[in-house]
Chains A and B, each alone.
Chain A
Amino acid sequence: MNGGFDRGRAFQVFEQALSLDGSSRARYLDESCGGTDAALRAEVESLLETAGKGQPQTSLLLAPPARAVENLIGECCGRFRLVEFLGEGGMGIVYRAERTDGINQVVAIKLIANALGERGREHFLRETQLLARLEHPAIARLIDAGVEAGRAWIALEFVPGRPIDAYCDDNHLPLRARVQLLVNLARAVAAAHGLLVVHGDIKPANVLVTADGSPKLIDFGIAAVLQDHGAAHSQTTDIGRLFTPHYAAPEQTQGVPLTVATDVYGLGALAYRLLTGVPTYRDCVEPLRYMMTAVAQNVELPSRAALATTPDALSRAGRHRVDALRGDLDAILCKALERDPARRYSSAKDMQEELIRYLVHRPVLARAQTMSYRLGRFVWRNALAVTLVGLLLASLITAGALVAWQARRVAVAKEMALRRGEFLENLLKSANPDNGRRDVSVATLLDAASRELDVDLGNEPLVEASMLGLIAQTNTALSRFPEGMAANDKQMAILTKFGGSEVDIGQALTARGQLLRGEGKWTQAEVPLREAVRLLRRSGTPADLCAALHLLGITLAHTQHEEEAAALYFEEIAIESRGDSQLQQERMEAYDALSVMAFEQGHYAEAVSYNRQALDLARRSLPSDSLKLLGIEMTYGTALVNTHQAAAAESVFREVIAKQTQLLGAGHHDTLLTQLSLADALIELHRDTEAAQISLDAANQLDAMVGPENLYTLMAWQEYGSAACNDRQEDAGLAALRQMEAIRKRILPAGHWLIYRASASIGICQLRAKRYAEAESTLLAAVAGLESVRGANFRRTQEAYRALRDLYTAKGLPDQAALWAAKIQL
C-alpha cells in the first residue's frame, strides 16, 4: 500500500478501464475512484496514458539485439583498410574498405564472426577462390578473401544500393515490375547454379538494388562455405545464426546441406515478400517457431496473405493487388515454396521461365501440377461439390462457434473450431492430385469431418444434423453412396428425434432418395421422395421442390411410371424461374430427363425435340465445360444413335468423355456412363471388339464403385455382353447377359422393359452361337414383351425383329423371315 492507494485495486481498475473508451471510460473512472480517491485515479490515468502510447510493432521484426561492436576502423584486411562501419548481419560485421596501395577501389569487407582453425582456414581460402570466379551482372563479385589473426574476412564488390524490399516498397513499385526484378534475380541464380555455386541465404538483405534499378545478389555462396565449418562451431548459442527465418527452406532449418532446391525456395520466399508485402510465416519471428512451423505447415496462400495484410483491402487498388496474385502467382509461389524440395521447380531457370510466362500472359506450368489446379479444377469446377465443400468448411466453423457459444469454455472452443476449419482446409490443400489420389483428398476431408462431428457436436443436435446433410450430399456428388447413406441415416434419426422442420426433413428425404437411386434401389427411393415432394410443396423453396420433383420423376421413369414422371417434370418446368440461374438449370434438367425418358419409350421425335430445348437453354447459359451441359450433350449423342447417326454420336461421346476425364477424372461415375453410351454407338458401327473392351472396363469399375445390383452396372454388363457376342466370344457374352438378366428380374418390377431387353440380347447371342432353338424361344418371348411395353418402333424391339429375321433365314424358313422383315423400319 505505498503511495497512499491500493496498487492492486489500481491494476484492477486500470484493466477494466482499458476495455472501455471515451465517455464510458470516464464514467467508469468516476464511479470507481470517485472524487474521494485522487491518488488512485492519478495512478490509473498514468497507466492508461502509458498504454495509450502503444508499443512500436517494428521491434518485433528486429533481428537479435544489437551488440556492442568493436571499432575496427583503420585496421587492415589484406590490401584493404576498413573505413566505415556499414552494418551487422547474421554472419558478422560489414565495413566499407579501400585499397591501401592507392588504387581506387571500394569494397565491402565482411568479417566473419566465427574464428577458424587451421583446417577451416585452408578450406575457407580454397572455397572463396572458387567463388571469385563467379561473374554475373546481377551478382556482387567476390574480390578477395583472407584470414587475419584467425578471423576470416571476405571482400565483396561494394554495391551502393538498398535492400530490395525497401526499394520496392519505398518506390511503390507495381506488381509486374517486382516480378521483372525477380526474373532478373532468378536468371543470376541460375547462372551461378551452372557453375555449381549455391547462394544458400537468399533474402531481402542480400539483394541490393542500385540507383538505376538493377538488382544485385550479395554474399553468393558464402553460406555454404560457412556451413561446411559451422558444425565445428555449433557452440554458438543463437540458433538464428544458422538460418534466416522467413527465407530459409524447411530442410535448411534441419541442417541439411544446401542444394539448388534451397535457392529455389529462397527465391520463392523473396518473391512472396515482395509480391504480398509480408514474409512467409509472418508470425514466426523467432527462429525456433519458424523451424517448427516451416517444417510442418504450408505457407499461407499468397493472395490470402496479401488480403489479410493489405490495409486498404477494400479499396480498388487493394483488391486489384490481391486479384493479381490469385491464380498464377499463387501457384508459382506455392510451387517454389513446396516443403518437399523434390516438388519445387527443379531449377532456378525453370522458375525464371515460369515468371516470364506469367509476364507474357502464357499459361503457367505450376497450375497444371499443383493442388490448386487439378484438385481445384475437380472441386471448384464441379458446381455441386464446390458449393458443398465450401459450405461444409464454412459450416464447420459456424457450427463450432455455435457450440462454443453454449460451451463452458466459450472462446477456447471457438478457437478450436477455427483451427478445425484450418485443418480441413489444409487437408484439402495438401492433397496431391498428381498421385492419382484425386478423390481421396475430398474423401479424406469428408471422413475427417464426420469424425469431428461424432466427437464435438453431440450437444447441438440440429447443427449436427445440417452438417450431416452436407456430408451426405457431398458424398453423393462423389458417388460415395454408403458413406453418404451413413450420414443420412444419422441425420434422419436426429431430425426425427429432435423435431426438425418440414424443410429440413424434406431436404433430408430428397437426399435419401438420391442416395438410394445412386445405390440402384429405385423402388425404395420412391417412398422418401414422395414424402419429400409432399413436405416441400407445402413449405420448401422452389429450388428444394424442383430437386425433389426431379428425383421422383427419374425414379418413376425407371419403374415405368412414365406418365406420372412426365407430369412431375412438367411441374418442375412450370415453376417460375424468375431469372434464378439454379431454377433455370433445373428446367434444363427437366427437359433432359423428359428427353431421356422419351428415348427409352421409343418416342424419338418427341425425345429429339426435348433434347433440343435442353440444349438451347444449356448452351445459352452454361460454360462449355459445365457438367450439366455435358450431361445434356450426352443425351444429344443418344439422340444421334437412335436416329441412325452412330458415327456422329461417336464423336459427341468422345468429346464429352474427354471433358469429363479432365474435370472429374477417368474413373468417375459420370465418365463411365458416357463410356457406355460410346460402347452402344460402337456396336451400331460394328466395332464390337472396341465396344467390348470399353464396356468391360466400365462394368468392372462400376461394379467396384456402386455394386453389382446397380442399374448402371447392369447396363454396362448389357453392353459388354452384346458386344462380346458380336465379337465371337459368345460364351463370355452369354454368361454376362444371363447374370445381368437374373439381377434385373430381381430388382426391377415384373414386366420392366429392361428385363425384356436383357432377354432379347440373350436371344441375339444364342443366335450368334447358332443355338437356334434356344434363340427362337428367347427372342419370341422378348419381342412380345418389348412390343407390349415399348411398342414396335422402339429401337430394341427393332433389334429383336432383325434378329428373328436372321434366325429364320438361317434356319431356312424364308416365309417366317419375311414376316419379321416386314416389321423392320428402314
Chain B
Amino acid sequence: MNHSMSNTLEFGALLERWSQGDRAALDQLLTSLYTEIHAIAVRQLNHERQSNLRPTALVHEAYLRLAGLNQIRLQDRTHFLSMAARVTRQALVDEARRRRATKRDGGSPVTLSDTNIGDLDQAYDALDVDELLTELERYDAQAAEIVGLRVFGGLTITEVAESMVLSVATVNRRWVAGKVWLMRELSR
C-alpha cells in the first residue's frame, strides 16, 4: 500500500514538473509508466492463464495506480492517456517478443482484444498489430498515430483530437480509414 501511495505522489509531482516544461520529467514519467504497465500486463498474462489482453484496461489500471483518482487534474488526463497509449504498445510488444523467444507457453502469441479494434470476442496478435502500425506509419504517420492512441490507450475521438490538436471531424475521418485498413490487413 505504501509503495503505491508513494508512487502516486511521485507521479503527481512528475506530471506537475512536466506540465511546467521540465523535459527530464517526461522521461521519468515514461519510464515509470512503462514499468507499471509492463508489470500489469505480465501479471495478467500469468495470473489469468491466458494470452489475451485489453490494452484499455491496462491503461486504466495504470492510471489508477499511478495517478490515483483525485490527484490528477482533469486536463492532465488526456496527456496521461496519450503517453500511456505509446508506452503500452511498447510494453506489450516487448513482452510478446520475449514470450515468443523463450518459447514459454509453446511460443503462443500475446493477443489483444478491445473495443477499439474490432469485436471484443476477436483477438489479434499484438506483434501483427504493431507491425502493421509501423507500416502505416511509413505511408501516413498521422493516421498511424491516431489508430495507435485509440487502440493502445482507449482514447476517445475527442481526446485524440485534443491531444494531437486536430479537429474532431478530421480525427474521425482518419480513424475510420485507418481502422478499416488495419482490420482488413489483420484479417488477411
A interface with B by C-beta (< 8 Å) = 7-9, 11-12, 14-15, 18-19, 46-47, 50-51, 55-56, 59-60, 62, 64-68, 237-240, 254, 283, 285-289, 291-292, 295-296, 409-412, 414-415
Contact = CB atoms under 8 A, between A and B. Distances in A.
Given A237-B43, A411-B169, A411-B170, A286 B60 contact: yes
Interface in B119-153: 119-121, 135-136, 138-140, 143
Contacts of B181: 11, 14, 47
Nearest to B183: A50
B122 to A, nearest CB: 9
Given A47-B180, A237-B57, A291-B69, 12 more contacts: A7-B139, A11-B139, A15-B143, A15-B173, A46-B184, A237-B47, A286-B56, A409-B167, A411-B170, A412-B161, A412-B166, A415-B161
A296 B74 contact: yes
B63 interface: yes
B54 interface: yes
B183 A288 contact: no
B139 A288 contact: no
A233 to B, nearest CB: 12
13 contacts: A11-B139, A14-B181, A18-B176, A18-B180, A59-B120, A65-B52, A65-B121, A237-B47, A286-B56, A286-B60, A411-B168, A412-B161, A414-B167
Contacts of B154: 286
B158 A415 contact: yes
Nearest to A287: B60
Contact of A64 (B54, B138, B166, B167): B54
B56 to A, nearest CB: 6
Contacts of B176: 18, 51
Nearest to A414: B167
Contacts of A62: 120
B115 A8 contact: no
A56 B167 contact: no
Contacts of A46: 184
A11 B113 contact: no
B119 A56 contact: yes
Contacts of A292: 74, 77
Nearest to B169: A411
B180 A50 contact: yes
Contacts of A59: 115, 118-121
B5 interface: no
Nearest to B123: A65
B25 to A, nearest CB: 23
Contacts of A414: 167
Contacts of A283: 156
Contact of B54 (A7, A65, A410): A65
A714 B118 CA distance: 74
Contacts of B170: 411
A474 to B, nearest CB: 29
Interface string B10-26: 00000000000000000
Contacts of A68: 50
A495 to B, nearest CB: 33
B64 A254 contact: no
B161 A11 contact: no
A50 B184 contact: yes
A389 B56 CA distance: 41
A237 B135 contact: no
Contacts of A8: 138-140
B40 interface: yes
- Which 9 A-B residue pairs are closest in the complex by CB-CB distance? A411-B167, A8-B139, A15-B177, A288-B60, A51-B180, A50-B184, A59-B119, A65-B120, A62-B120
A296 B74 CA distance: 10
Nearest to B166: A412
Contacts of B174: 15
Given A7-B135, A59-B115, A296-B74, A47 B184 contact: yes
Given A11-B136, A15-B177, A288-B64, A238 B57 contact: yes
B64 A285 contact: no
Contact of A288 (B63, B118, B136): B63
Contacts of B60: 239, 286-288
A510 B138 CA distance: 63
B32 interface: no
Contacts of A64: 54, 57, 120
A296 B43 CA distance: 32
Contact of A18 (B44, B48, B167, B177): B177
B44 to A, nearest CB: 6
Nearest to B139: A8
A415 B184 contact: no
A93 to B, nearest CB: 15
A64 B181 CA distance: 25
Contacts of A285: 115
Contacts of B52: 65
A12 B181 CA distance: 11
Interface in B41-84: 43-44, 47-48, 50, 52, 54, 56-57, 60-61, 63-64, 69, 74, 77
B35 to A, nearest CB: 16
Nearest to A404: B167
Contacts of A15: 143, 173-174, 177
